[in-house]
Amino acid sequence: MTYQLGLIGYPIQHSLSPWIHGEFLDKANLQGNYKIMEIDINDSFAEKIEQIKNEGIMGFNVTVPYKQTIIPFLDELDDTAKQIGAVNTVVHQEGKWIGYNTDGIGYVRALEHAYPELFQNKSKKKVLILGAGGAARGIYHAVLTSGYMQIDIANRTKESAEKIALLNKNKAKTSILTLVEAEQRLANYDLIIQTTSVGMKPNTDQTIISLENVNPAAVVSDIVYQPIKTSFLQEAEQRGASIHFGHTMLLYQAQFAFEIWTKENVSTDQMDEELKKILEGR
């Protein structure tokens, strides 16, 4: 069997997913290919999706700007995708097109791989999420599901943070903060997760908040991976905190998607360093 896989989104010509899934196919000793299927925003999405579905594809990833657009074209959504309201992985199974979202779980897997101790005594640890966009939503859901009991959200616009907090059905405690309040209370948190695009190339000198009050025992995480070490992570490191890189989320969301398509558990060993090198060369 040859796995026909791919990616839809726009623009995606520089996506790293073909490299990642090519490595996974090799590691799992499977025949297959993963192709870029860019859908121009001026094209008919419905027509393009029909075409892709009819080409014998077994599964595909979905990226910006189509993570919500894809939903009406699917037969089923798994629970996580349903609650987040966004799909990044589709599988064709027994004639049905099923949508999943592996972003948040990928993030948590990457974090656990790097900092297993963060996952002990989770009920006593305090998490702060900065930002309230699509990425924050997936991460909040996954962090909540993994058992943390206090997960606060700080965002420029309060209303978006409040919408995300609705995912919490009284399981954990969530306070909504302004970015200034987050700066002031920063010392309370064991894990700080930056989920916005602030600090991404070309605006590499920007940081969403000052880390002046960070607890040196905390882990500071940034989902931005261009550059690999953002100004936010540099500041965290200077202040003695541990840091967690954004490119690892890319790797582990892909690992989980690959599991959904092939039922194979592939390791990401060495790929972290290789991916870092590829990104640093850009």
Q: Which residues are annotated as a binding site for NADP(+)?
A: 79, 131-135, 223, 246
Q: How far is the CB of 203 from ligand ATR (least distance, A)?
A: 8
* Three-state DSSP state, 279: helix
Compare residues 102 and 155 and give the one whose CB is closer to ligand ATR.
155
Q: Which residue's Cβ lies closest to ligand ATR? A: 133
Q: How far is the CB of 82 from ligand ATR (least distance, A)?
A: 18
What residues are designated binding site? 15-17, 63, 79, 88, 103, 131-135, 223, 225, 246, 253
Radius of gyration (C-alpha) of the chain in whole angstroms: 19
Residues in contact with ligand ATR by CB under 6 A are 131-136, 155-157, 160, 196-198, 208
67 in catalytic set = yes
Q: How far is the CB of 208 from ligand ATR (least distance, A)?
A: 5
Compare residues 77 and 84 and give the one whose CB is closer to ligand ATR.
84
Q: How far is the CB of 130 from ligand ATR (least distance, A)?
A: 8
> 22 φ, ψ to 5°?
-60, -45
Compare residues 82 and 156 and give the one whose CB is closer to ligand ATR.
156
Contacts of 151 (CB under 8 A, 6+ apart): 127, 128, 129, 140, 143, 144, 168, 172, 173, 174
Residue count of the chain: 282
Q: How far is the CB of 132 from ligand ATR (least distance, A)?
A: 4
Compare residues 134 and 227 and give the one whose CB is closer to ligand ATR.
134
Compare residues 118 and 135 and give the one whose CB is closer to ligand ATR.
135
Is the peptide bond between 202 and the residue preceding it cis, with omega within 30 degrees of 0? yes
| Active-site entry in 27, 67, 169, 276 | 67
Question: Could you tell me if 120 and 101 are in contact, meaning their C-beta atoms sit under 8 angstroms apart?
Answer: no
Question: Could you tell me if 62 and 34 are in contact, meaning their C-beta atoms sit under 8 angstroms apart?
Answer: no
Q: What is the DSSP letter of 156?
A: S
Question: Can you list the alpha helix ranges (DSSP code H) found in 28-178?
Answer: 45-53, 79-84, 103-114, 134-145, 158-165
Rounded Cα distance between 82 and 96, Å, is 16
Question: Could you tell me if 251 and 235 are in contact, meaning their C-beta atoms sit under 8 angstroms apart?
Answer: no
Structure tokens at 109: 């897997």
Going across the sheet that includes 31-38, the strands are 31-38, 2-9, 59-62, 89-93, 96-100, 76-77
What residues are designated binding site for shikimate? 15-17, 63, 88, 103, 225, 253
Compare residues 192 and 271 and give the one whose CB is closer to ligand ATR.
192
- Which residues are bridge partners to 2 per DSSP? 31
Q: How far is the CB of 3 from ligand ATR (least distance, A)?
A: 28
Question: Could you tell me if 240 and 188 are in contact, meaning their C-beta atoms sit under 8 angstroms apart?
Answer: no
Task: Please list the active-site residues.
Answer: 67
